[in-house]
Amino acid sequence: MPSPSYLIAVLAIVFGITLALRAVPFAVLGRLSDSAIVRRLAVWMPVGILAVLAVTALHGTITADPHGAWYALLAVAVTIGVHLACGRRTILSVGAGTAVYVVLLNVL
């Protein structure tokens, strides 16, 4: 087992790197607030992240259970519909889509 001083040194390095990686973007963001790239990223990054998550989740669902693919696609349609109809409330739309998917999967 490593010595306590070695463990403390490793934890200090890990803490320092983690703090720096989390703090640096906020320190730099203040200087870049007028940048067109930062404004564009603020609009498109959440959409891109959700798209990647949706594609990976749907891929896993469709390959695991082809019958459930229709349920997943219907849930995606409900999510999009609720999102657009209810003022782009992400939690509400994702919750509604998830509820539809769970109900369809367990009832039908």
Give the helix/strand (H/E) hosting 89.
none
* Terminal Cα distance for the chain, rounded: 54
* Surface-to-core class of residue 93, CB atoms within 10 Å of its CB (0-12 exposed, 13-18 middle, 19+ buried): buried
- The position carrying tokens 């509604």 is 96
**Residue at token pair 């001083």:** 5
Per-residue pLDDT of 59-100, as tens digits, reads 887 888 877 888 888 998 999 999 999 988 889 998 999 999
Q: What percent of the chain has pLDDT over 70?
A: 100
Distance of alpha carbon 6 from alpha carbon 69, whole angstroms: 51
Cα separation, 14 vs 42, in Å, equals: 29
